[in-house]
Structure 1
Amino acid sequence: MTTTTETTSAFNPRVVLQKVGTSLSNMVMPNIPALIAWGIFTAFFIADGFTPVAALGGFKDGSGAEHVGLVTPMIHYLLPLLIANTGGRMVYEARGAVIGVVATMGVIAGSDELVAKLNLTQPPDQQIGQIHMFIGAMIMAPLAAWLMKKLDQLWQEKIPAGFEMLVNLFSAGIFSFIMALIGFYGLAPIVNGLMNLLGSGVEGLIGLGLLPLVSILIEPAKVFFLNNAINHGVLTPLGLTEASQNGKSVLFLLEANPGPGFGILLAYTIFGREAARASAPGAALIQFVGGIHEIYFPYVLMKPVLILAAIGGGMTGVFLNVLFHTGLRAPAAPGSIIAIFGNATTDSYLGIAIAVLGATVVSFVLAAILLRVGKQDDGDIASATAKMEQMKGKKSSVAGALTGGAAAGGAAGAAAAADDSSHSGPIERIVFACDAGMGSSAMGATVLRKKVRSAGFDDVEVTNKAISSLNDEWDVVVTQKELTDRARQRTGSAIHVSVDQFMNSPRYDEVVELVEQRNNPDAASADEVDATVGEGTAAAAGGAASAAGAANTHRAEAAPTGEQPSEAATATAEPSADAEPEILSASSIVLDGSAGSADAAIDEAGSLLVRAGAVENAYVSAMHDREATVSTFMGNGLAIPHGTNEAKESISRSAMSFVRYPQGIDWNGNPVTFVVGIAGVGNEHLSLLQNVAMTFSDPAQVERLEKATTEQEILDIFSEDKD
């Protein structure tokens, strides 16, 4: 798999704007369900709705009584505060969310105060309505959360023990108070002025009949993933303000219209070549019905002149929507024809249908002409998809599905298609994943962590998890090859690295090279910009150390404050009457195992765990189930059989067993001399597992294990400091 890194030392406006747009999108998108709910309330309960209800819609009833309702408070308070909560949480988790909401409330109140004062000077027929603080929330909440985070870093090391809660609560409360005042007196006037300016600009464009010209900006921005800054930063706030006053807004249709992309894909279906023509019909269905507009971006990038077709279709759609006075009650997300009609007002259905059809026809005709008169790149949709994903900064699962996952391009990409990804940017988080997240993955995390640290990247996180607990937040995911597909379903945007076994894979060094090239691009030569993460030829000598880093991570999370002796150290100590049983005791060590096969060896290692009172017999069966799914052979003559994730209920305490087979046994085609059985309740076993891993990374230590004559020697080897 070949991953291209974009190295730029100079300021890149596109990248900066793209990051801003992504941040805005990340604040708005999680709250789209609330916007949809608000749209449903307006559709049914306002005075012009399907079923007007004064108490819910907020208008005067038959007796003349004025009702507040739900519609206005939701858009004026609830929706901006939800965005503030999300924006603050993105920066500083729950603490940032609370501070962001309080600070945004100051902006909302400040805006209302300014509007009230202005209306005192205006005649009744020129009164202005509330200005909804979506932009204010997207500015104030992340800013307040970021400032609080920086302030906390100033004094977090100086808080006396026992005063942490007092300081944390009062510092957040006082700072929230200050930021609310800043929002009230400082930011509110700025945002009010900005919203009035933008609103006047849009009204001017509509009045002059020039609104279709915005497609000249929006359509290219979509292809280059700059649309989020425009859509969520400007169009959505303005559209919601207009919809709250008029019941609908055409601004929601400027970017969401699927017609331009649909027309281009139809043109490729008829006039395209090879892979592009074959994949275009499926892409058209996904784009039009599924609303995933990015699916057509590679087709435009493959022949950039087609951006003219997208602009022409977009301008046609906007012109027809303005002509027929159409609008949506709330944003259509995703931009599916279903979502669009779901949010459309009843008087807009026909106009929207005509606008979508018109946009499709115009973009189709223009794209057909451009495809026929110009030279096509023989349908190189894969390389165009790779270019699109590089600009986006992450892998596109829908585009990958149509191109067969071969978006990386070149022979290297084809050779390792299973691990292909176009994730770009620095590598900050690496995870080893296995079925249970208990043994194999822990054994995989240490070597890479040690190698990454040795390369000078102390800030790169390397840990281990069960596949079932993964989410799409990791930059690199390492799994045994049998589990890669499962991991990809949960982490579609990550770089996926498949290994045959965790202990002795050359791919560790290759991942470290990728980290070096991504995180320190200035130090890489021009020939190193393309980082290849595939099966190499150099052997990794010490794959066994893979549990150490993960063990340290788990212990740091689980251990209370204060110094504690490690489990590895206590493994050799005689327990007191009330001491916890050892993780590995001499009675669970066998120097001359009797098993002749992998199945028998699992039984032998498992029976030691049962005899130690650590597990029930059902856990041994689960060890066989785990082996049937994915081999626990680690390399360097070591196997670490353990149960499945579902079998943890059969574990009463953490324990390990050690069995040596001097003559060796066949472990599904691999020679094994040592079998270490594992049962883990929490993280207690990981410290000793760390030392086991580090031991097997050193050939000299493995030789000592082979020559040991007593159980105590084994315990002494594992308890030695391997740092």
Structure 2
Amino acid sequence: MAQAKKQSSIKVKVQKFGTALSGMIMPNIGAIIAWGLTAAFFMYPHGWFPNKEINNLVNPMLRFLLPLLIGYTGGKMVDDDRGAVAGAIGTLGVIVGTDQPMFLGAMIMGPLSAWLLKKLDQVFQDKIKSGFEMIYNNFSLGILGMIMAIFAYFIIGPVMEVGSQWASAGVNAIIRVHLLPLANIIIEPAKVLFLNNAIGNGILVPLGIQQAAQVGKSVLFLMESNPGPGLGILLAFTLFGKGKSKSSAPGAAIIEFFGGVHEIYFPYVLMKPSLILAAIGGGVTGTFLFTTLGGGLKAAASPGSILAILLVSAKDAYFGNIVGVLGAAVVSFIIAAIILKHDKSTGEDLDAKQKEMQAMKAESKGQAMPEAEDAHESVKSYENVKKVIFACDAGMGSSAMGASLLRDKFKKAGIDVSVTNTAVRNLKDEDGLLVVTQEELADRSLQKTPHAMHVAVGNFLSSPKYDTIVASFKALTQVEDKPKQEKPVKKVGSIDGIDFSKVKEVNFIRHDQHLGTATMATSLFSDAMKKAGKTTPVKAVRINELTDDPSHLVIVTPAANKNLAVRYSDIQTLVVKNLLQDKKLNEAVEKLN
């Protein structure tokens, strides 16, 4: 059991690190595709429609726009807007310090600059006197940004330039001796463990962009995004599978090949682990054909759809790319067909295997994770659920489809509950939340939202647990409750609706557009508290720095309160027309401690 816990912890840490890398790339895939298409169509003289004027956009987009976006995003992941700006400034030092496209440097300097700024704020921000917040915020960011840019220029830039040259030389050497296909021996199993976005967007895409900038295309873009291995496995299930896995495979194959959502075939492999041999065989074959026949893409193909691959294929690489994808599908199909034809199971064990895996995970953690079956036995546990969130690694393809399916079931059943989707890394712990995620991501989901209700499924597109969730919500309308005593309704945002005995801190929300107003309001209210002999601290904070509990009394305008209500449910609010002068402010001072 201890060993199982250790393995689970290692897997979660690897997934988190990989997600952090891909999290810097994923939001900027559109910009990467924009650069790739611009280069493919208009690069002079090798584009489809060579144009000297438009060609002037290609190099600045590659050297400045993309690294700055990556650094900005990496900083934002660490410390929101201030971190994003710090990350962009630090990244600029790497960019001008070398002639190489600095994607890897941006992935280092973005988070590092933001992290240092965050640590600086933790040390000094509470010590800043009221009225001096703007000076501290602007100059701390400016000074640290300057230092990080200089540090990146003289230290990180040269180091990353040498590292990039070595990495590029290593990849080219591996390609020349035809050993690159062996990388799929690691890539394919890692994909099934939901590390596909981490490997593809976190590692292969940055390296691929640098290679494409040098030679006009890169096969690295195809190694993870190739839909061939998954397509072959799903076609094998379509012809030789049994039971539910056979009936669901055709639709999954269409989504895999044309939609590019690779997560769709992972549960099929997890159900029968020997099928990983089919995925590896297909991946190795595809990469071998890509490298042999001159395949390659101008930019990342995201999602990994055949349509996306064709759109960003290099001018001279269409034949190699198509043959590589189809070859991978054929080989994975043959291997999977052999495995499935010797399979003795009935094909109805998909759900049983998923439940068994979930039980083993719960046992390894020493606790049972609440799931739909338990909830169905006690329908009342669904009473407080106000929102359902589907969470996958990237927060796009598979979770969006799962959310759409459940949303449709809710609509038909007349259930009025919000259903959305997001990435696991963006989950926030809150009451009234039901999180639906894939079994391989259940550990991370539970860590992010320990107070939420959790349901783990093997396949977002076909799970009986959806029907259980719907039935449980429907059953709520049939449960006869004892008459509840009516509680007096308190207007949200009014003085009467505040429990002043719980208030331990008064907050004003500061943000860039109204920083001065929040600072002045904090100063005036603090002075009024001191004159009244009250000791409750008064602070100006950013909206994301609040703790969601009744000990915070936040004084806001009606417009700001709408934004606050989206993020928090338990803090207390006092809504005033004017932060500087309103009779409610004096009433609050009288009632505070």
Is the pair's TM-score, using the shorter chain for normalization, greater than 0.5? Answer: yes
The match for 1:56 among 40, 54, 76 is 54
Q: SS of 1:488's equivalent? A: strand
- The 5-angstrom pairing of residues 500-515 of structure 1 reads none
Structure 1 counterpart of 2:332? 363
How far 1:391 moved relative to its partner?
A: 13
Residues 1:239 and 1:385: Cα distance change in structure 2 (over 3 Å) = farther
8 Å CA contact 1:92–1:146 kept in 2: the answer is: yes
Q: SS of 2:298's equivalent? A: coil
8 Å CA contact 1:419–1:497 kept in 2: the answer is: no
How far 1:289 moved relative to its partner?
A: 0.6
How far 1:190 moved relative to its partner?
A: 2.8
The match for 1:24 among 4, 21, 26 is 21
8 Å CA contact 1:299–1:384 kept in 2: the answer is: no
Deviates more, 1:194-203 or 1:346-355: 194-203
Bigger radius of gyration: 1
Structure 2 counterpart of 1:99? 86
Q: Does 1:193 align with 2:124?
A: no
8 Å CA contact 1:488–1:496 kept in 2: the answer is: no
8 Å CA contact 1:547–1:690 kept in 2: the answer is: no
- The 5-angstrom pairing of residues 30-429 of structure 1 reads 30-46=27-43, 47-57=45-55, 69-110=56-97, 112=98, 130-376=99-345, 378-382=347-351, 411-412=373-374
Distance (Å, rounded) in 1 between the aligned partners of 2:563 and 2:86 = 37
How far 1:271 moved relative to its partner?
A: 1.3
Higher helix share: 2
Q: Cα deviation per residue 1:82-135 (whole Å; 9 max; x = unaligned)?
A: 11111111111111111101101111222x1xxxxxxxxxxxxxxxxx321111
Q: SS of 1:378's equivalent? A: coil
How far 1:485 moved relative to its partner?
A: 5.4
Q: SS of 1:518's equivalent? A: coil
8 Å CA contact 2:301–2:308 kept in 1: the answer is: yes
Moved over 6 A (4+): 385-392, 407-410, 413-420, 479-483, 491-499, 514-517, 532-555, 680-683
The one-letter amino acid paired with 1:216 is: I
How far 1:418 moved relative to its partner?
A: 13
Residues 1:387 and 1:153: Cα distance change in structure 2 (over 3 Å) = farther
8 Å CA contact 2:225–2:301 kept in 1: the answer is: yes
Q: Does 1:518 align with 2:516?
A: no
RMSD over aligned CA atoms reads 4.8
Q: SS of 1:346's equivalent? A: coil
- The 5-angstrom pairing of residues 617-628 of structure 1 reads none
The one-letter amino acid paired with 2:17 is: V
Q: SS of 1:345's equivalent? A: coil
How far 1:185 moved relative to its partner?
A: 2.1
Q: Cα deviation per residue 1:364-418 (whole Å; 9 max; x = unaligned)?
A: 11001111113436333346667999999xxxxxxxxxxxxxx998843776999
Distance (Å, rounded) in 2 between the aligned partners of 1:542 and 1:146 = 50
Q: Cα deviation per residue 1:643-682 (whole Å; 9 max; x = unaligned)?
A: xxxxxxxxxx99xxxxxxxxxxxxxxxxxxxxxxxxx999
Distance (Å, rounded) in 1 between the aligned partners of 2:350 and 2:124 = 54
Residues 1:419 and 1:221: Cα distance change in structure 2 (over 3 Å) = farther
The one-letter amino acid paired with 1:91 is: V
| Structure 2, unaligned runs of 5 or more | 362-368, 389-402, 404-409, 434-445, 453-467, 510-517, 529-557, 574-590
Distance (Å, rounded) in 2 between the aligned partners of 1:419 and 1:498 = 10
The one-letter amino acid paired with 1:37 is: A
Residues 1:79 and 1:272: Cα distance change in structure 2 (over 3 Å) = same
The match for 1:488 among 411, 416, 419 is 419
The one-letter amino acid paired with 1:248 is: K
How far 1:303 moved relative to its partner?
A: 0.3
Deviates more, 1:334-343 or 1:134-143: 134-143
8 Å CA contact 1:320–1:354 kept in 2: the answer is: yes
Distance (Å, rounded) in 1 between the aligned partners of 2:234 and 2:109 = 41
How far 1:321 moved relative to its partner?
A: 0.7
Distance (Å, rounded) in 2 between the aligned partners of 1:681 and 1:105 = 33
Residues 1:242 and 1:175: Cα distance change in structure 2 (over 3 Å) = same
How far 1:419 moved relative to its partner?
A: 9.6
Distance (Å, rounded) in 1 between the aligned partners of 2:25 and 2:563 = 40
8 Å CA contact 1:258–1:337 kept in 2: the answer is: yes
8 Å CA contact 1:261–1:293 kept in 2: the answer is: yes
Q: Matched residue pairs, number?
A: 455
Distance (Å, rounded) in 2 between the aligned partners of 1:256 and 1:307 = 17
Structure 2 counterpart of 1:647? none
Residues 1:487 and 1:385: Cα distance change in structure 2 (over 3 Å) = farther
8 Å CA contact 1:419–1:498 kept in 2: the answer is: no
Residues 1:483 and 1:28: Cα distance change in structure 2 (over 3 Å) = farther
Residues 1:546 and 1:92: Cα distance change in structure 2 (over 3 Å) = farther
Structure 1 counterpart of 2:535? none
The one-letter amino acid paired with 1:295 is: I
Residues 1:416 and 1:384: Cα distance change in structure 2 (over 3 Å) = farther
Distance (Å, rounded) in 1 between the aligned partners of 2:423 and 2:489 = 24
How far 1:8 moved relative to its partner?
A: 3.7
How far 1:433 moved relative to its partner?
A: 6.4
Distance (Å, rounded) in 2 between the aligned partners of 1:299 and 1:234 = 26
How far 1:198 moved relative to its partner?
A: 2.1
Q: Cα deviation per residue 1:196-247 (whole Å; 9 max; x = unaligned)?
A: 2322221222111111101101100100022333322321111111111211
Distance (Å, rounded) in 2 between the aligned partners of 1:19 and 1:340 = 28
The one-letter amino acid paired with 2:268 is: Y
Residues 1:54 and 1:391: Cα distance change in structure 2 (over 3 Å) = farther
Distance (Å, rounded) in 1 between the aligned partners of 2:109 and 2:23 = 15
- The 5-angstrom pairing of residues 623-642 of structure 1 reads none
Distance (Å, rounded) in 2 between the aligned partners of 1:681 and 1:297 = 38
The one-letter amino acid paired with 1:104 is: T
8 Å CA contact 1:39–1:343 kept in 2: the answer is: yes
The one-letter amino acid paired with 2:72 is: N
How far 1:310 moved relative to its partner?
A: 0.2
Distance (Å, rounded) in 1 between the aligned partners of 2:26 and 2:158 = 26
Distance (Å, rounded) in 2 between the aligned partners of 1:180 and 1:547 = 52
Distance (Å, rounded) in 2 between the aligned partners of 1:291 and 1:310 = 16
Distance (Å, rounded) in 2 between the aligned partners of 1:546 and 1:198 = 65
The one-letter amino acid paired with 1:17 is: V
- The 5-angstrom pairing of residues 571-586 of structure 1 reads none
8 Å CA contact 1:132–1:237 kept in 2: the answer is: no
Q: SS of 1:347's equivalent? A: coil
Residues 1:200 and 1:36: Cα distance change in structure 2 (over 3 Å) = same
Q: SS of 1:12's equivalent? A: helix
8 Å CA contact 2:188–2:280 kept in 1: the answer is: yes
How far 1:339 moved relative to its partner?
A: 0.3
How far 1:193 moved relative to its partner?
A: 2.9
Residues 1:301 and 1:515: Cα distance change in structure 2 (over 3 Å) = closer
How far 1:29 moved relative to its partner?
A: 1.0
Matched residues, percent identical? 45
8 Å CA contact 2:430–2:449 kept in 1: the answer is: no
8 Å CA contact 2:260–2:303 kept in 1: the answer is: yes
Residues 1:682 and 1:191: Cα distance change in structure 2 (over 3 Å) = closer
Distance (Å, rounded) in 2 between the aligned partners of 1:378 and 1:224 = 22
How far 1:15 moved relative to its partner?
A: 1.7
8 Å CA contact 1:18–1:229 kept in 2: the answer is: yes
How far 1:288 moved relative to its partner?
A: 0.7
Distance (Å, rounded) in 2 between the aligned partners of 1:340 and 1:48 = 19
How far 1:549 moved relative to its partner?
A: 10
Deviates more, 1:334-343 or 1:537-546: 537-546
